[in-house]
Each structure stands twice: as C-alpha cells, then as structure tokens.
Chains A and B, each alone.
Chain A
Amino acid sequence: MAQNKTNLTRAVIVLALASVFFITLDLSDSGSTSRIRRVFDTVFSPVENVSRVVTRPLSGAWNAFRNYDDVVEENDRLKEQVALQEGAAVAAAASVRLSQELLALNGLPTLAGINSVTAQVIGETPTNFSQTVEINQGANSGIKVGMPVLNAAGLIGKVTEVFSNRALVMLVSDPDYALSVKVVTKSSRTPVTLPPLPTEDAPTVDSVLETTETSTTSSTTTTTTTIVGFTPSVTTVPAEVVAGGGSNITVPIASQLSVRETGILEGRGPGSRPIVRFLDASTRADAIEVGAPIVSAGGSRSLAPPDVVIGVVSRVVERLGTAGPVLEIELVADLSNLSFLRVLLYQPITESGK
C-alpha cells in the first residue's frame, strides 16, 4: 500500500512537471506540441465524431427550444435586408471589379489573386476562456497555421491549429488575437472642384475623333454612401463627345484622398468589442469619426493581406499625454452566428514553418 502511494505521488510530480514543461514549450512556439496534438486528434476524432452524431438530436432540440423565436424574427429582418441590398450589391460588385482591375494594373496585391478554401463551422469552443471555432477543412485542403479566415461580411480570425481534416480558428475577439489595421479617416482638406476650362483651352476632343458637328452633353454620377469617413466624390463623365463646351472634369488629387491611420487591433473576449491601439499620438481624435471603416493593413509581416474589411469604429476614446486615441470596433462579421467561412490560402511570413 505504501509503495502504491509512493508511486502515485511520483506520478503526480512527474505529470505536474510535464505540464510546466509543455506550457513553456508551447509558449515558445515549439512544433513538438503541435505534433502531440495531431497524434491525439487521430485517436480522439473518431470518438468525437460518434459523439457528435449521437448528441446532434439533443443539441438540435435545445437550439429549437431556445432560438426558434429569434430565428423567425431574424429571418424576417434578413428578408427585408436582402431586398435592400440587392440593388446595392450590383453597384458594389462593379466597383470591386474596377478596383481590382486598377490594383492589378498597378501591380498591387488583391484578395482576388489569393486562392481560398470554403469551410463549414462544425463546432464552437468547448471552454469559456478561448474564442475559437472548429472548421471541417484542414491540412488536406492546404490550410496552414496563420491563414486568415473570412466570412461573407469580413475578417473573422486566423487559423491556429491544423489537423488533417479539421482546423481551429481563433476569432478576432480572442484576447490573444492582434492584427495591424488601417483606419480610413476623413480627409483633412475640403474637396476641391476644378472650374471648367475655357472653351478655347479645353482639350480638343473633336480633334482626336475628327468629328465636326456634335452636341454637348454630359452625365454626372454622384455616389452616395452611409459609411462615414468615405467622402463620396462627384465624377463628371462626358457621355458624348464634347465640341467646344467647357466641362467639369474631376481629377483625383492626393489631398482629396482619405487619410489612413494604422494601429493594432486587439480582441477583448466575448461580449466586449475589439479595440485598435497604438495609433499615432499625433492623430487628432476628431479626425476619426464613429463609423469610419477598419481594414487590414497588410505588409510583409502582417497576419492578413491588405484591405480585408474588419469593421467600423463604434467609439473613439481620447487619452491624455502622448498616448494616441483608442478605438472601439464594431465588427462587420457576426461572430456569434458563423456557418460558412473562407480560409485565404495566404500564410504570413511570421507564421511560416508552423
């Protein structure tokens, strides 16, 4: 009996020391802990799959009991929202196409050039102290640690653990998540409208096209948006060949473009909005409006490619001294209701080799 107790005491000490050892290894990004996880996953996955199948009716019944009214209400709201969005989506698609063409012409990276894998959320985090979801695609689909994950609305997180046929995605709201972002602020200068050129100084379009009798018409397209921080511009497009008349031609100049501040987005756990810190101390708090869009900054060491939509500013907290303002962010993606996700096959340099 005494021998048995001694053995058990030894086992406790060894296991406790092993815990400390593995914590140290894991925090120093050692690959050996990932291998242990993969081995355990191989054994545990069949058990978990059987359990998922067996308990699905129970969880389904629970969800039906708890969420039925919410789902009906949400369905009605979404139908109305879809009707509103249908028109806007067509215009947005055209804008996105144009933007991608311009970026491609200038040799700039775009999301369109990055392959992606569509995955479905198959489980939420079982613990109350991490913000992760499990998806049904893994290393066999080319997914690697660090790859950014999006849904239809915007960025939702990054891949943190990859197994053969599943992966864990850390959500943007997890306190361990951090990403460099850009805040699109309003322009510091008022837009300048160029006066129409005198007739004699105007570019002789007719000389180019060699037309003699043409009428002077032009169409003006005004872009309106509810997104604060984007200054809609008025673009006058000559619809037909102009002969002799002065026309307003808006040429984009640097001073009219939106100013972009960079900072670090950090999650703050469930129920709390993520924040953006480390903005330039010289940034005026009033230069950043509530509703200003937040997009990923990109760059060689960033966790995500540039210009992935993340959210909008919901509150600006000004701080004293040299500390810049802190921004609270309202994410565009609804993290509480995730279903289908898109994993961008873009592995940041900082995560390569994991």
Chain B
Amino acid sequence: MQLVASRWFRLVLVTMLVLSLQTTLLSEVRFFGYSVQLMAIFVAVAGSVHDVRVGAIVGLVSGFMYDAVLATPLGISALVLGAAGAGTAVVLQTFREPTWWLRILVVSVAAALSEILLPLTKAVVGLGGWLSPRMFAVSLVTFMGGLVFSAPLIPISRWTLREQVSLGRR
C-alpha cells in the first residue's frame, strides 16, 4: 500500500500517460515531418522543478519505458533522458530563483539537446546512420514543442513527484 502511494508509483503511471500521448497523438501530428518529443520535455520539466537526482531518476525510468515500446536497444533512451533530466536540474541550480520563462527556456533547450544526444549515443554503441544535419531540425522542433508544452507539464510534474509529508510515527 505504501508503494502504491509513493511518488515513484505515481511517476510510472503518469509517464505511461505521457508515453501513450507520444506513441499515438504526437507520432501522427508531426511538424515539418518531425515528432515533438514530449517524453524529453516531461523529463526536463521534472529536472527543472526538482533536484539532480530526481531529474536523473525520472529520465532513466521514463527512458526505460520509452525504449520498451521502441525497436531501439533497451537502455539507450534511458541514458539520454537521464542525462537530460539531470542536466536541466544542474543548470537551474545555478540560479537562485529562476523565473518561469527561464525555466521554460532551459527545459526546451535540454529537451532539444537530448535529441542531438540520442543519435550520438546510438552511434557510440554502433547504430550509426542517424548523425546528419536532420538531427538539428529535429531538436529545433522539440525546442519549439518545449516552449509550448513545458508550462502545462510543470504542475503535473510537481504533483507527480510531490513527497508525502510525514507527520511522524505514533
């Protein structure tokens, strides 16, 4: 029961919903032929409203789930999204009180960079063929998507990863 009530269980459920939007709506609604990576934006948002560790865990868990529905090797998206989540948190930690627009900007840039990191990681493990100027166009589309989707994802991420307030044991 404690597990079901934990934030990590909520994370898995919410990530499933985000993933289902990614595999259905956003795989069909393409901008200039490219799909906005809502998963990367969600992970970056989680990193922006929490710390480095939580950002990395959200990225790794979401990435595993994303890899499980893709034909890519299991773990590649996990590493990339883990880096994106942690990176977003690291950048925002350098600001004492980041403004809302700065948060959105950093999230969008981190999500866009993850779209460049993914083909690089694939190339490192021997799955070449994706390193082309096309990846910059892909990251630009995800950057634009980040500007649109990160604002509504911030409260969702806050609710999902909210820690239960412990009132102490009797």
Binding site for B on A (CB under 8 A): 5, 8-9, 11-12, 15-16, 18-23, 25-27, 33, 36-37, 40-41, 43-44, 47-48, 50-52, 55, 58-59, 62-63, 123-130, 132, 160-161, 168, 170, 174-176, 267-272
CA distance A316 to B49 in the complex (A): 54
Tell me the complex Cα distance, A23–B70, Å: 13
Residue pair B16, A23 in contact (C-beta under 8 Å):
no
A267 touches B129 (CB 8 A): yes
Known: A51-B17, A58-B29. A126 touches B57 (CB 8 A): no
Beta-carbon contact of B60 and A62 below 8 Å: no
Q: Is there a chain A Cβ closer than 8 Å to B119's Cβ?
A: yes
A338 to B77: give the CA distance in the assembly, Å. 27
Q: How large is the interface on B (under 10, 10 to 19, 20 to 34, 35 or more residues)?
A: 35 or more
B20 touches which of A47, A267, A271 (Cβ 8 Å): A47
Tell me if B69 and A129 are in contact (CB < 8 A).
no
Complex interface: chain A residues within 8 A of B148 (CB): none
A59:B28 contact, CB within 8 angstroms: yes
Q: Inside 8 A of A272's CB, which chain B residues have their CB?
A: 132
* Chain B residues within an 8 Å CB radius of A36: 68, 74
21 CB contacts below 8 A, A to B, read A18-B75, A19-B76, A19-B82, A22-B67, A23-B74, A25-B74, A40-B69, A44-B65, A50-B20, A51-B24, A51-B25, A58-B29, A126-B69, A126-B70, A128-B35, A129-B119, A129-B122, A129-B130, A130-B72, A160-B71, A270-B33
Choose among B26, B61, B122, B138 the residue that contacts A126 (Cβ–Cβ < 8 A).
B26
Residue of A nearest to B63 (CB): A19
Say whether, besides A22-B73, A59-B28, A125-B70, A175 and B23 are in contact (CB < 8 Å). Answer: no
- Is there contact, CB below 8 Å, between B127 and A175? yes
Partner of A59, one of B25, B68, B70, B126: B25
B68 touches A269 (CB 8 A): no
Cβ-defined contact, A15 with B78, below 8 A? yes
Please, how many angstroms separate the alpha-carbon atoms of A269 and B69 in the complex? Answer: 20
Across the A-B interface, give the 3 residue pairs with the lowest CB-CB distance, nearest first: A175-B129, A51-B20, A19-B75
Q: How far is the CB of A49 from chain B (nearest CB, A)?
A: 9
In the complex, given contacts A40-B69, A62-B29, A269-B130, what are 7 additional A-B residue pairs having Cβ atoms less than 8 angstroms apart? A19-B64, A47-B17, A51-B21, A55-B21, A127-B72, A128-B37, A132-B71
Q: Could you tell me which B residues sit within 8 Å of A by CB distance?
A: 16-17, 19-29, 33-35, 37, 53-54, 56-57, 60-61, 63-79, 82, 86, 115, 118-119, 122, 125-130, 132, 134-135, 138
- Docked Cα-Cα span, A269 to B119, in Å, equals 12
Task: Say whether B24 contacts A59, CB under 8 Å.
Answer: yes
What are the residues of chain B within 8 A of A55 when measuring CB–CB?
A: 21, 24-25
Cβ-closest chain A residue relative to B54: A8
Q: With A22-B73, A128-B37 as known contacts, state yes or no: A15 contacts B57, CB within 8 Å.
A: yes
- Report if A127-B125 is in contact (Cβ < 8 Å); known contacts: A12-B53, A23-B76, A51-B24: no
Give the CA-CA distance A125 to B67 in the complex, in Å: 12
Could you tell me the distance in whole angstroms from the C-beta of A191 to the nearest C-beta in chain B? Answer: 42
Give complex CA distance A324, B75 in Å. 38
Q: Which residues of A contact B20 (CB under 8 A)?
A: 44, 47-48, 50-52
CA separation between A272 and B37, bound complex, in Å?
Answer: 22
Query: What are the residues of chain A within 8 A of B61 when measuring CB–CB?
Result: 15
A48 to B16, CA, bound (A): 8
In contact, A128 and B34 (Cβ under 8 angstroms): yes
B16→A26 contact, CB < 8 A? no
